[in-house]
Amino acid sequence: MAAALEGPVRLIGCGKMGSALALGWLQAGLAPAALQIVEPDASTRNAWAGKGCACAAELAGIADWPAPRALVLAVKPQKMSEVLAHAPALIGAGTVVVSIAAGTTLETLQTAFGAGVSIVRTMPNTPASVGRGATALYATAAVPTADRELAEGLLATVGLTAWLSDEAQMHAVTALSGGGPAYVFLLIETLARAGVKAGLPDDLAMALARATVSGAGELARLSTEPAAVLRQNVTSPGGTTAEALAVLMAADGIQPLFDRAIDAAAARSEALGRGAAA
């Protein structure tokens, strides 16, 4: 675990993202006894208790736990108001609050926990479950460096981290990297269906699509070259890939489609922040 991590880590919500984070912390050296988990699902809770973690089904069950150095809020945005109603009881002196809930603003969090509490908003994504996450973080200038380092250390265990200069950028992050894995999985589905239409068996088309997307992603991760150069490296002038790219890069091709998709997701993030029904 990063040197900045001290004391117990309290995780509220241990669904897919919460579990990915918790696993990353343990793999990075956090002692199981230092991980406190509140999770209503009995099977999930029992699995983590079996690893030696402190577990409770609800917030009422944590009264005797030692105060955490970090509190990580990993509940769905729709459940956040229920959790924030208990905010003061969830922390101790010096606790850093880390939220991964889309749409819940720093102002909302600060109002619930009180002035002077260090709060960091983050937006990880599901590849965190395999250590390949991408997480954006934001905190005001009032949050001490040590608290920023603690929050970043928690998220760095599951992938890339990057700080934002403006909280408003979190809507674009939510739309881009937060939802991005779903877009990539859709690309795999779309490539496979196109392959079937072109004459390939279903299973072969899907296998090729999955391997192609995952392989290209790993190449992009490991390469120092810009994505545009990697694309050009695959494209022979006048060849078959150039013909396909002429369609995808046309004025009505993939760019305006993704522009609309990202705009729609960012707008939904803003609506959640205003308290719109989910």
Question: Which residue range forms the structural domain that includes residue 123?
Answer: 9-176
109 and 200 inside one domain: no
152 and 80 inside one domain: yes
Note the pLDDT of residue 159.
Answer: 95
152 and 223 inside one domain: no
The Cα-based distances of 160 to 37, 124, 182, 263 in angstroms read 24, 9, 18, 24
Residue 78: is its pLDDT beyond 90? no
Residue 206: is its pLDDT beyond 80? yes
249 and 236 inside one domain: yes
Which helix (H) or strand (E) element contains residue 134? strand 133-138
Predicted TM-score (pTM) of the model is 0.89
Tell me the average pLDDT of the chain: 93
Residue 184: is its pLDDT beyond 50? yes
Please answer whether residues 169 and 183 qualify as being in contact, where contact means their C-beta atoms are separated by less than 8 angstroms.
Answer: no
What pLDDT, in 10s, does the model give residues 13-65?
Answer: 999 999 999 999 998 889 999 999 999 999 999 999 999 999 999 998 898 99
Task: Establish if 3 belongs to a structural domain.
Answer: no
Task: Establish if 258 belongs to a structural domain.
Answer: yes
Task: Establish if 14 belongs to a structural domain.
Answer: yes
Note the pLDDT of residue 278.
Answer: 38
Amino acid at 196: V
The lowest-confidence range among 6-10, 92-96, 160-164, 205-209 is 6-10
In whole angstroms, what is the distance from residue 13 CA to residue 225 CA? 39
Residue 137 forms beta bridges with which residues?
122, 163
58 and 171 inside one domain: yes
With bands split at pLDDT 50, 70 and 90, how would you rate the model's confidence at 7? low
With bands split at pLDDT 50, 70 and 90, how would you rate the model's confidence at 6? low
Note the pLDDT of residue 87.
Answer: 95
Residue 135: is its pLDDT beyond 50? yes
Q: Residue 153: which CATH number? A: 3.40.50.720
End residue of a domain, out of 134, 156, 176: 176
57 and 163 inside one domain: yes
Residue 4: is its pLDDT beyond 80? no
Residue 2: is its pLDDT beyond 60? no
Residue 249: is its pLDDT beyond 80? yes
Distance of CA 105 to the CA centre of its chain: 16
